[in-house]
């Protein structure tokens, strides 16, 4: 992040930072907003409740403008113009923000040992690494894991075809690495928010699938 700040300083750039997962950090790691590293730069920080408070359907969030605003008056004017065009703001969703941020933070307990997100992460991490041909780095935040596939073992040349084959055979949907601009066909994403029984089923089906899978 400090290197990004230096690039922004060198080329007089605005920094945009999506920090929607700022409250979903595990293992004693601490989230550091990039705006705190660049008080001299204009930083647009984006946040919301959809991930940390599991209320994705409410579509409620915010934008914070910080730092030196002297050279971005036109940009801010454009933002004000756009916001004034929104004649029907999502008032009901906006009303939950103060309570959500100021009250009891249920996500904190979910991220500690014994908590649902923590325990499901532990399970899926071990389950993936126990499957021959797969490996994964333990995530430190959020609720996604990005396993690596031994493409030589399974003759995989197309990661999208791999997830489609798994979907057709076992009716479980993954996201291929190419969906995140990953250049090699050797990764896919699992969301480990489903309950433990569903994760166990997924691990069992993946083990069964890969035992005989060879991409054609």
Binning pLDDT at 50, 70 and 90, where does residue 87 land?
A: low
90 and 134 inside one domain: no
13 and 95 inside one domain: yes
Question: Residue 100: its pLDDT value, please?
Answer: 83
10 and 94 inside one domain: yes
85 and 10 inside one domain: yes
Window from 100-104, 117-121, 189-193, 199-203 with minimum mean pLDDT:
100-104
Structure token pair of residue 128: 């993936």
* Residue range 57-75: mean pLDDT, rounded: 90
* Residue range 77-82: mean pLDDT, rounded: 90
Q: Count up the domains in the chain and report the number.
A: 2
End-of-domain residue from the set 46, 70, 104: 104
* Residue range 200-205: mean pLDDT, rounded: 96
CATH number at residue 23: 3.40.640.10
> Is residue 105's pLDDT more than 70?
yes
Question: Residue 83: its pLDDT value, please?
Answer: 82
Binning pLDDT at 50, 70 and 90, where does residue 182 land?
A: very high
Residue with tokens 């403008």: 65
Binning pLDDT at 50, 70 and 90, where does residue 216 land?
A: confident
123 and 201 inside one domain: yes
End-of-domain residue from the set 104, 125, 149: 104
> Is residue 101's pLDDT more than 90?
no
132 and 97 inside one domain: no
* Chain centre distance of CA 101: 20
* Residue range 174-182: mean pLDDT, rounded: 95
Q: 165 Cβ partners below 8 Å, 6+ apart?
A: 209, 213, 215
CATH number at residue 185: 3.90.1150.10
Q: pTM of the full predicted structure?
A: 0.84
Helices (H) and strands (E) in the chain, counts: 8, 8
DSSP state of 187: B
Question: Residue 22: its pLDDT value, please?
Answer: 92
* Residue range 173-184: mean pLDDT, rounded: 95
98 and 132 inside one domain: no
* Residue range 104-126: mean pLDDT, rounded: 91
End-of-domain residue from the set 104, 129, 159: 104
The closest of 63, 19, 10, 62 to 41, measured between CA atoms, is 10
89 and 153 inside one domain: no
198 and 117 inside one domain: yes
Give the structural domain span for 155. Answer: 113-212
What distance in Å separates the CA atoms of residue 76 and residue 149, rounded to the nearest whole number? 45
> Is residue 33's pLDDT more than 80?
yes
Strand 43-48 to strand 15-18: parallel, antiparallel, or no bridges (unpaired)? parallel
The rounded mean pLDDT for the chain is 92
84 and 118 inside one domain: no
What distance in Å separates the CA atoms of residue 154 and residue 64, rounded to the nearest whole number? 46
């Amino acid at each position: 992040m400090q290197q990004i700040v230096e690039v922004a300083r060198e080329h007089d750039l605005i920094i945009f930072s999506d920090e929607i997962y700022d409250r979903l950090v595990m293992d004693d790691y601490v989230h550091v907003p990039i705006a705190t590293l660049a008080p001299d730069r204009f930083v647009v920080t984006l946040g919301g409740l959809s991930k940390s408070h599991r209320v994705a359907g409410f579509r409620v969030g915010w934008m914070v403008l910080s730092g030196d605003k002297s050279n971005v008056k036109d940009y801010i004017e454009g933002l004000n113009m756009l916001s004034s065009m929104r004649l029907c703001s999502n008032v009901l969703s906006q009303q939950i923000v103060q309570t959500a941020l100021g009250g009891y933070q249920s996500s904190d307990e979910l991220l500690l040992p014994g908590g649902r997100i923590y325990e499901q992460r532990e399970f899926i991490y071990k389950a993936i690494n126990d499957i021959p041909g797969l490996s994964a780095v333990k995530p430190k935040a959020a609720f996604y894991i990005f396993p690596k596939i031994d493409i030589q073992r399974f003759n995989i040349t197309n990661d999208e075809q791999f997830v489609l084959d798994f979907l057709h055979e076992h009716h479980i949907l993954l996201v291929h690495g190419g969906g995140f601009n990953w250049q090699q066909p050797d990764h896919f994403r699992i969301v480990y928010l489903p309950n433990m029984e569903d994760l166990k089923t997924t691990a069992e089906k993946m083990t069964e699938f890969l035992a005989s899978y060879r991409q054609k």
